[in-house]
Structure 1
């Protein structure tokens, strides 16, 4: 068993892409990040590695300060993770945690604790969904609008609200502003649901895979919740994405059953459970 670390994302993609595409919806996160690295020149300090035993059996992607993303062949989790953990320790590569399909992540965390003696805790129980056809549910009042420059301050504030609600970490107002500018001006990826010209909810076209595209940053401020605005913006964005892609994907937090129920009403179906684990 050997590990190969990559500096060039193009070479990495050539090496691992077909392996990841075997489970395209489940692997939407590492696939999407690889594509973002190449298309937007993002994550210059990313950790990219693959594990081989005659053939490819594990793929690891990390964009500091975020968690290490794991993908490995079923039944080989313990062997592959042991090899990678020893490699990370030898190279003095720090990891704050892992994100992966549930069994894969739990196997890694167990080996991490056994080898390093450091405990771990579950940060978020997640579920990956995909959608191939939107169900015929009614939209709320309002209209679906692409965000523009005038919306940058609003979207920056909503990014902060989203991060606070999801507990995904911390973001400064400056970083939120920078992210909003990038998403609106460079990517043109943020969509708003407006009622009477007033923005009430948002969703974003996120990373794409070969045949699919993800939806994220779904956020509705407290004052506008329970009115169907979030469902309307997600349904509208999903319909737009299906004009170009075969399917859409998204991650949910299983601690919020209402949002999971809403996505399933739109037509999203569970692919697998995922978990975000933090290390002490």
Structure 2
């Protein structure tokens, strides 16, 4: 097997895009990040793109972002993942973490020498058709710049709650919320003119929109706001001809039940791993 690295996202996608699209939902992280880099909405300076070949066939694929390594779902073969882990050991010993499908991530961390500090299990869900959910008072609306301060505070609370590793700075979170509002990708459930829940389209692949930043403040929980907001956003996406996907924390059964009630089906299990410094 041969490992090849690319410095330019265009070169990487030219070789790899068709392979990634064979498991488009499972590879939404890599495809989405590559799209953001190609569109200059994500940094590219510290990014690296990697394939492992058996002859002309791509056997495994990964990218390095400033935060962590992202592994693709390509084959079930462990050996090419071990080769990628060896490459990261030799060239990126300061790697902060890795995220990927369960078996790929487990193989990577078993070969990477840094101690594991944090492991978060994630479920990846997909949706092609919504079910009826119990309606609640309020309306689904696109967020505006007038909501910026409130939704930025919610986003900070969201990231604090999910325990993202490495953590995002306040400046980064505010930039993200402003960008989502500007691009028309952030939505709210509004009751009596006030937002009571939010959800966003955080990433796009060729045919799938990924929902994230689903948050309801503590005092407004248990009233169906998040379920209705995500259902309406999902229908908004489906009406445009895309499928939907989202990640959930496997340790939060309540949120998993909400998405299942809307019609989301689990398709993959992921690990999000942080390494010790």
TM class by smaller structure? over 0.9
Structure 2 CA distance for partners of 1:75 and 1:134, relative to 1, 3 Å:
closer
- 1:58 is matched with which residue? 60
* 1:176 match: 173
Spell out structure 1 runs of 4+ moving beyond 6 A: none
- Indicate if the aligned counterparts of 2:99 and 2:271 stay in contact, CA closer than 8 A: yes
Q: Distance in 1 between matches of 2:242 and 2:185?
A: 18
TM-score (norm 1): 0.92
Matched residue, 1:49: 50
1:81–1:111 contact (8 Å) kept in structure 2: no
| Structure 1 residue ranges without an equivalent (≥5) | none
Aligned-partner SS, 2:274: strand
> Residues 75-120 of structure 1: CA distance to partner in whole angstroms, max 9, x if unpaired?
422x1122222222332453112111111111111122xxx3x332
- Provide structure 2 residue ranges, at least 5 long, that are not aligned to the other structure: none
Mapped to 1, the partners of 2:179 and 2:115 lie a distance apart of: 37
- Whether the 8 Å contact between 1:88 and 1:94 is mirrored in structure 2 is no
CA distance in 1, matches of 2:244, 2:28: 10
1:247 aligned to 2:234?
no
The structural deviation recorded for 1:56 is 0.6
Q: CA deviation at 1:195?
A: 0.4
- What's the counterpart of residue 273 of structure 1? 269
1:66-81 superposed matches below 5 A: 67-77=68-78, 79-81=79-81
The verdict on how the C-alpha distance between 1:194 and 1:209 changes in structure 2, with shifts beyond 3 A counting, is same
Give the secondary-structure state (helix, strand or coil) at the position aligned to 2:25: coil
Instruction: Specify the alignment match of 2:106 in structure 1.
Output: 106
Q: Write the distance in 1 (CA, Å) between the matches of 2:274 and 2:127.
A: 29
Identify the match of residue 224 of structure 1 among 194, 202, 220: 220
1:128 shift after superposition: 0.3
Counterpart of 2:186 in structure 1 is: 190
Number of residue pairs matched? 273
TM-score normalised per structure 2: 0.93
Q: CA deviation at 1:152?
A: 1.0
Q: Which residue in the other structure is 1:134 paired with? A: 130
